[in-house]
DNA sequence: ACAAAAGTGTTTTTTTTACACCCATGA
DNA sequence: TCATGGGTGTAAAAAAAACACTTTTGT
């Protein structure tokens, strides 16, 4: 009933990490790493995603959401992917099904660094408008994560998760414009956003800026994040 | 790098099939079957889901959408599930990760029947309000499918996929009310729905009904379904 | 003629969009 | 004092919600 050995399929979890630097939406890319870390037997998928995220960012308790599972039989079969897998995996020929999560982090909280273990080379932020060709089907995965983020940003108020603790409404608007891929009207945006319970104006202003400083706001969480 | 043998994880695909009988939303349940059919190595996940659907319904080319992947380490570990798995699987102890799809069919097109192979006993429609305790985490899976259907019904115009070729606006409204779990206003509903391109009024009325017969409509597809 | 459900428009409310000028700051 | 981007309100349009009576049919 179960798959005989010759049809074993590996399963893995991946995490597409988004961050916003005030100008562009970025995604955290790992170069020269196994596409997917090992997947301990006793871990839930959510826990595995959280671990993957932690390994790249040292962050804990971060927003994470499963968005799609990629399982095309040929997804790890491109010659260059195979060449590399052979150097790194016991069973490079095996089909891999990957459960993809996306995650929203405050870029300031992440100090891009090598993962603690062996093979990692670099972890770096890349503007989503400038993503190079990635290994496997990781371009598709990023696009999938983006699509889901776009769908959920407004209804789930996810924008705050991508901004620093203190932010301006202009920053928030800019982020929305980038994710939603359309211009928003400044006054209407502020009208809407100021209705939200969770948006708390601070008695503080931007600093070190060569124009009228903008007011800072914070986001009040209901629960620890 | 890959999982050593002792940590092999089986992967499977499941399909939650919804149908509407005019009164209630129903889900197609298979009793006494392996929770998940075997998963050939060369099949895409989408193809596997289509095959599973075909095996239960003999239907082809049906709306199918992946909605979530279930992978809790204990999800096949309940004693009664294990007892039964042992009679049916070579590796009942293995963890199983299941990629879940949901599907919308016209109930009239399905003649519930046993699947062609061995172990199937029955395939039957059950009102979603009356779903018994199912094996494994299948209750959760159905709830997840329902949730996704509810999210997508309106924006994706999915209602038509659950109705017969010819249907009345009352039927359509009733379906929406059940899926969305709220009453809709008859006049507003018709106003909205009549704006849709794809809704074609027929020169036909309901028949054999002891009151004013309702007009029939059909849904015009852009593409073969 | 009656029961039963089908069918039909208008008004009100809410939400969304469009739009332009003054303000505070640092250089 | 000037350049820069921050900040503000109102009116029009569109969308959504509320609401009740007439019609057609079979018995």
pLDDT at A2: 40
Tokens 């994470």 belong to A64
- The answer to whether the CB of A14 falls within 8 A of the CB of A99 is yes
* DSSP-derived 3-state class of residue A127: strand
A205's CB contacts (< 8 A; 6+ apart) are: A213, A214, A215, A216
Q: If we measure between CA atoms, which residue out of B73, B82, B88 comes closest to residue B10? A: B73
Instruction: List all residues of chain B from 83 to 142 with a beta carbon under 8 Å from chain A.
Output: 88-91, 94-95, 97, 99
**More confident site: B114 or A54:** A54
pLDDT at B37: 52
**pLDDT tens for each residue of B31-60:** 755 555 566 668 999 999 999 999 888 999
Quote the DSSP letter at residue B167.
B
The reported pTM is 0.92
Q: Which of B68-77, B114-123, B134-143 has the lowest mean pLDDT?
A: B114-123
Length of chain B: 225
Query: Considering chain B, what is the average pLDDT of its residues?
Result: 89
Q: If we measure between CA atoms, which residue out of B5, B31, B30, B6 comes closest to residue B16? A: B30
- Averaged over successive runs of 10 residues, the pLDDT of chain A (225 residues) comes to 58 95 93 59 92 91 97 94 89 93 96 56 88 95 98 95 96 97 97 94 93 95 59
Residue A8 is nearest to which of B8, B40, B71, comparing CB atoms? B8
Residue B97 clears pLDDT 70, i.e. is over it = yes
In angstroms, how far is C4 C1' from B211 CA? 6
How far is the alpha carbon of A37 from chain B, nearest alpha carbon, in Å?
A: 8
- The answer to whether the CB of A102 falls within 8 A of the CB of A64 is yes
């Amino acid at each position: 009933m179960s798959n005989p050995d010759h049809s074993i399929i590996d399963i893995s979890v991946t995490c597409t990490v988004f961050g916003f630097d005030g100008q562009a939406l970025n995604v955290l890319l790992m170069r020269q790493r196994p596409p997917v870390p090992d997947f301990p037997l006793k871990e839930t998928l959510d826990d595995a995603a959280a671990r993957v995220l932690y390994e790249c960012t040292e962050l804990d308790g971060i927003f994470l959401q499963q968005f799609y599972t990629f399982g095309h039989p040929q997804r790890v079969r491109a010659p260059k992917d195979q060449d590399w897998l052979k150097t790194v995996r016991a069973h490079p020929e095996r089909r891999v099904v990957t459960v993809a999560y996306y995650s929203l982090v405050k870029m300031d909280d992440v100090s891009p660094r090598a993962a603690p273990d062996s093979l990692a080379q670099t972890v770096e932020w890349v503007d989503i408008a400038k993503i190079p060709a990635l290994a496997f089907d990781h371009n598709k995965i990023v696009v999938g994560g983006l699509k889901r983020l776009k769908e959920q940003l407004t209804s789930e108020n996810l924008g705050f998760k991508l901004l620093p603790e203190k932010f301006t409404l202009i920053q928030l608007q800019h982020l929305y414009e980038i994710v939603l891929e359309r211009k928003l009207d400044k006054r209407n945006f502020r009208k809407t956003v100021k209705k939200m319970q969770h948006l708390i104006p601070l008695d503080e202003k931007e600093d070190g800026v060569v124009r009228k400083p903008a007011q800072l706001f914070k986001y009040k969480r209901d629960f620890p994040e």
